Amino acid sequence: MRWASLRNILFFSVSSFCLQCPRCMQCDSKFDFIRRKHHCRRCGRCFCNKCCSNKVALPRMCFVDPVRQCAECSLLSQKEAEFYDKQLRVLLAGGTFGVTLGTTEKSETMTCRLSTNHRYLFLDGESHFEVELSRISSMQILADGTSPGESDVHTYTSLLDSHGEGGTSRASGMILHYKPMGSQDGQQLRLEATEDKKAASLWLAAMHKAAKLLYESRDQ
Ligand SMILES: [Zn+2]
Ligand SMILES: [Zn+2]
């Protein structure tokens, strides 16, 4: 089977990663015939059974069935699995926004959705354009009743520190800064919930979560 062989290749490369490792990288206990070495399927580091006993699915590495991971990785994988389940569906379905590009005053009603390969934001209205996710440098989520100011700027860094699922106020818009392909100048994109505000707000909350995950896995 194709999946099974891919899984074996991945596991093989992970297990051959570290033949010399004599101690658990978490609790520092020495490996012997009784205390056997186990590899985290996500980071590939060596642990004892106790420190690497969590079993979580790892869809991005083709492990659909739960696999052994260290404490740090299993937390991250759990969050990702939850994201795959709920948020991704919302992001792919899209939301409708009033979209303003750059500093122009003119806004256009567009549907904004994540592309099926998860790499772009597609914006469709009278015109079509796309933003590559890896080119986004900052993201600011606007909440109901707030006007954009320095204090509400959410970069990937501050998203990490924010508590709760977008707080108590409902997300009503988003400002992105990104660098278009082949350009050195940053571009600003502003989305504002206009029609179906509830659906738009759900989409924004999912985007907020996606940005957090992206930042956390970039950091790993
Ligand atoms: Zn250990
Ligand atoms: Zn790990």
Residue 88 token pair: 């991704």
Domain 90-145+173-217: which topology?
PH-domain like (2.30.29)
Q: 22 alpha carbon to ligand 1 midpoint, in Å?
A: 11
pLDDT of 78 > 70? The answer is: yes
Q: 60 alpha carbon to ligand 1 midpoint, in Å?
A: 26
DSSP 115-136: -TTSSEEEEESSSEEEEEGGGE
Gap between the Cα atoms of 204 and 52, Å rounded = 35
Quote the CATH superfamily of domain 15-54.
Zinc/RING finger domain, C3HC4 (zinc finger) (3.30.40.10)
pLDDT of 209 > 50? The answer is: yes
Is the pLDDT higher at 3 or at 109?
109
Is the pLDDT higher at 144 or at 12?
144
- pLDDT at position 39 is 93
Q: 37 alpha carbon to ligand 1 midpoint, in Å?
A: 9
Average pLDDT over every residue of 150-159: 42
| Ligand with smallest separation from the Cα of 45 | 2
pLDDT of 14 > 70? The answer is: no
| Ligand with smallest separation from the Cα of 68 | 2
Gap between the Cα atoms of 50 and 24, Å rounded = 10
Residue 171: C-alpha distances to residues 10, 122, 142, 155 (Å): 40, 20, 6, 16
Contact 95, 205 (CB under 8 A): no
Residue 101: C-alpha distances to residues 107, 163, 168 (Å): 8, 30, 28
Q: 64 alpha carbon to ligand 1 midpoint, in Å?
A: 25
| Ligand with smallest separation from the Cα of 48 | 1
| Ligand with smallest separation from the Cα of 50 | 1
Please give the distance of CA 193 from its chain centroid, rounded to a whole number. Answer: 22
Q: 48 alpha carbon to ligand 1 midpoint, in Å?
A: 4
Domain limits of the chain?
A: 15-54, 90-145+173-217
pTM for the full predicted model: 0.62
Over residues 180-205, the pLDDT tens digits come to: 888 888 899 999 998 888 889 999 98
pLDDT of 218 > 80? The answer is: no
| Ligand with smallest separation from the Cα of 71 | 2
pLDDT of 121 > 50? The answer is: yes
